[in-house]
């Protein structure tokens, strides 16, 4: 049997990180077994499905490199198959026309609630209470239609839905690859609607028909669908179709253990992309979230595809850990292609400043070293603060303290010395600075701090020779001159006496 998996998002919102992980598990499982991975856009909820959401899902998957093996299937385009299935089920007696109106169902619910409330009264005998609760349970429990065994329509033109005739007895068994064996009593399944009164198919029917017609062998999805599975199995059985293998993956929870929600931070893949996370890092992190293979922590999709198995999926909900995500991202920042990294940092910096050709060049030459200074693209962009700062630099407290008295006099001397430097590359500047120290009888403690303060304003920065090379000679001299000038002025801008 050739494995076929699918990711079946409803286009009612962004591509959620939980959805991305489901898609990952599906593609990896199919790759592992040389199978196919398909994408089905479940757009049957016309009111809530949007083109923007479809685009967000396609873009998100594309960015992550989760590429389906065939063009996406749109569920609404398959409505005829769904309708055919419902008709076939009527023919074979596993579905029926139900004439219950929304008002009937509402009345049933209200009756159930009324009986449940009545059962709370103090003065009731135990027997009376028990019979009220039984009535309430019948009305509030799984719906079994009065038309399930036939019966005349209330009027010749009465609207009807088509419902599954849920099994009367027995149990429904699910052998789930993650959750293990679970069985429920057939009475827990309702006569669910297959075709609405307007003739449109419901999700519950569409998903089964599509999975069958697309040849899906393994349904890997979130465990929020577990209950649905028990309602879908009777449809497979009604049609005599093989039931796919199911794997219900536990949800992703927030760091506090509560179900992941907006309050925990970004939920959509697009937001992570915006924040400058790398797709390789997101994939790696999401994969490790709820799936493990020995002590593997860092691996590519190709590596994972060689070893992926459903048995590696944990049963407990996975807790997202944003620090770990950043650390994983840091790993990829330090190992990814430098051109790609330069482009990302440039995009991040361009949110707040104009990127000059010089800065672009500096990024290109410095990132091999600078990439150690942040786990995320914004953090890296921030690490460039000493370069992107505009003149005259604002000195932090420490830098301001450094640039005083004789230190300042030394800075003036250093300035004139470096102005004479013939070459402006880190290696040569290192030698130039050593020469200056020797000639001017300065220790590193006397030369370094004023120079660093004037050039960086006290912001974190790497070795001073690198800082000098990256800033360029003109900028370095100008920054030093600024400080020599400013520090000889009073707060009111007049020359100090
Ligand atoms: N369309 C469903 C959803 O987005 C998934 C259905 C499925 O995977 O079977 O939650």
What is the CA(39)–ligand 1 centre distance, in A?
11
**Atom number, ligand 1, closest to the C-alpha of residue 19:** 4
Tokens, residue 22:
């489901």
Element (H, E) at 77: none
Residue 442, judged by CB atoms within 10 A of its CB (0-12, 13-18, 19+), counts as middle
Average pLDDT over residues 195-199: 97
> Cα separations (Å) of 310 from 183, 291, 402, 486?
20, 8, 61, 66
- Alpha helix positions (H), 13-101: 17-32, 51-64, 79-91
CB 433 within 8 A of CB 464: yes
Q: How far is ligand 1, taken at its centre, from the CA of residue 225, in Å? A: 7
Q: 207 in ligand 1 pocket by Cβ < 6 Å?
A: yes
221 lines ligand 1 (CB under 6 A): yes
Distance of alpha carbon 373 from alpha carbon 460, whole angstroms: 10
How far is the centre of ligand 1, averaged over its atoms, from the C-alpha of 229 (Å)?
A: 11
Q: Give me the pLDDT at residue 487, please.
A: 62
- Give the 3-state secondary structure of residue 108: helix
**Does the beta carbon of 10 lie inside 6 Å of ligand 1?**
yes
Q: Give the pLDDT of residue 491.
A: 53
Identify whether 262 is a catalytic site residue: yes
Nearest to 66 by CA among 116, 94, 101, 26: 26
Catalytically annotated residue among 262, 351, 397, 496: 262
Q: Dihedral through CA 480, CA 483, CA 489, CA 494, nearest 10?
A: 60
State the pTM of this model.
0.88
225 lines ligand 1 (CB under 6 A): yes
Distance 365 CA to ligand 1 centre (A): 47
- Say what the alpha-carbon torsion angle 285, 17, 378, 355 is, to the nearest 10 degrees: 120
**How far is it, in rounded angstroms, from Cα 496 to Cα 426?**
36
Res 265 pLDDT > 80: no
pLDDT digits (tens, 9 = 90+) for 387-445: 999 999 999 999 999 998 889 999 999 999 999 999 999 999 999 999 999 999 999 99
Give, using CA atoms, the residue closest to atom 6 of ligand 1. Answer: 8
| Mean pLDDT on 300-309 | 94
Integer Cα distance of 137 and 113 in angstroms: 9
Instruction: Give the closest residue to 464 by CA, choosing from 440, 423, 442, 434.
Output: 434
Average pLDDT, the chain: 94
- Within 242-391, strands assigned E span 245-249, 252-253, 318-319
Cα(28) to centroid of ligand 1, in Å?
18
Contact 78, 8 (CB under 8 A): no
Q: For ligand 1, pick from 27, 207, 214 the residue to mutate: most ligand atoms within 8 Å of CB.
A: 207
Q: Is the CB of 9 under 6 A from ligand 1?
A: yes
Contact 216, 225 (CB under 8 A): no
pLDDT of residue 153: 95
User: What pLDDT digit, counting tens, does each position of 82-118 carry?
Assistant: 999 999 999 999 999 999 999 999 999 999 999 999 9
Sign of the dihedral defined by the CA atoms of residues 175, 181, 186, 188, in that order: negative
pLDDT of residue 215: 98
């Amino acid at each position: 049997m050739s494995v076929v998996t699918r990711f079946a998002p409803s286009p009612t919102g962004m591509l959620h990180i939980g959805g991305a992980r489901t898609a990952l598990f599906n593609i990896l499982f199919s790759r592992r077994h040389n199978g196919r991975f398909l994408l089905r856009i479940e757009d049957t909820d016309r009111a809530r499905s949007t083109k923007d959401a479809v685009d967000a899902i396609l873009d998100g998957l594309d960015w992550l490199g989760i590429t389906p093996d065939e063009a996406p299937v749109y569920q609404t385009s398959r409505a005829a198959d769904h309708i055919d299935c419902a008709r076939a089920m009527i023919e074979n007696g596993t579905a029926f026309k139900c004439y219950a109106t929304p008002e009937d169902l509402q009345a049933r619910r209200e009756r159930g609630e009324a009986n449940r409330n009545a059962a709370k009264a103090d003065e009731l005998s135990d027997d009376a209470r028990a019979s009220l609760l039984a009535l309430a349970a019948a009305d509030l429990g799984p719906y079994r239609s009065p038309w399930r065994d036939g019966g005349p329509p209330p009027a010749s033109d009465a609207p009807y839905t088509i419902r599954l005739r849920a099994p009367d007895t027995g149990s429904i068994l699910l052998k789930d690859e993650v959750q293990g064996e679970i069985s429920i009593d057939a009475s827990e399944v309702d006569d669910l609607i297959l075709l609405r009164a307007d003739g449109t198919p419901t999700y519950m029917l569409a998903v089964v028909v599509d999975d069958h017609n697309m040849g899906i062998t393994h349904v890997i999805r979130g465990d929020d669908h577990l209950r649905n599975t028990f309602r879908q199995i009777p449809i497979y059985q009604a049609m005599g179709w093989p039931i796919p293998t199911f794997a219900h993956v536990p949800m992703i929870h927030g760091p506090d253990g509560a179900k992941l929600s907006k309050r925990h931070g970004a939920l959509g893949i697009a937001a992570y992309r915006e924040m400058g996370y790398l797709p390789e890092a997101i994939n790696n992190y999401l994969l490790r979230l709820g799936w493990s293979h020995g002590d593997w922590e860092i691996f590519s999709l190709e590596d994972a595809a060689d070893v992926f198995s459903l048995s590696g999926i944990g049963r407990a909900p996975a807790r997202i850990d944003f620090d770990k995500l950043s650390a994983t991202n840091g790993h990829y920042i330090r190992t990814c292609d430098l051109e790609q990294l330069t482009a990302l940092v440039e995009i991040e910096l361009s949110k707040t400043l104009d990127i000059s050709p010089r800065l672009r060049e500096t990024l290109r030459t410095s990132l091999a070293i600078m990439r150690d200074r942040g786990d995320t693209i914004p953090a890296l962009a921030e690490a460039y603060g000493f370069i992107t700062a505009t003149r005259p630099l604002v000195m932090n407290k420490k830098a301001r303290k450094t640039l005083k008295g004789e230190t300042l006099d030394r800075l003036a001397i250093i300035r004139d010395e470096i102005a004479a430097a013939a070459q402006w590359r880190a290696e040569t500047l290192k030698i130039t600075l050593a020469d200056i120290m020797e000639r001017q009888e300065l220790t590193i403690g006397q030369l370094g701090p004023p120079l660093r303060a004037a050039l960086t304003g006290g912001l974190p920065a790497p070795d001073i020779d690198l800082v000098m090379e990256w800033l360029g000679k003109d900028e370095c001299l100008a920054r030093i001159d600024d400080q020599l000038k400013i520090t000889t002025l009073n707060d009111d801008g007049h020359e100090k006496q």
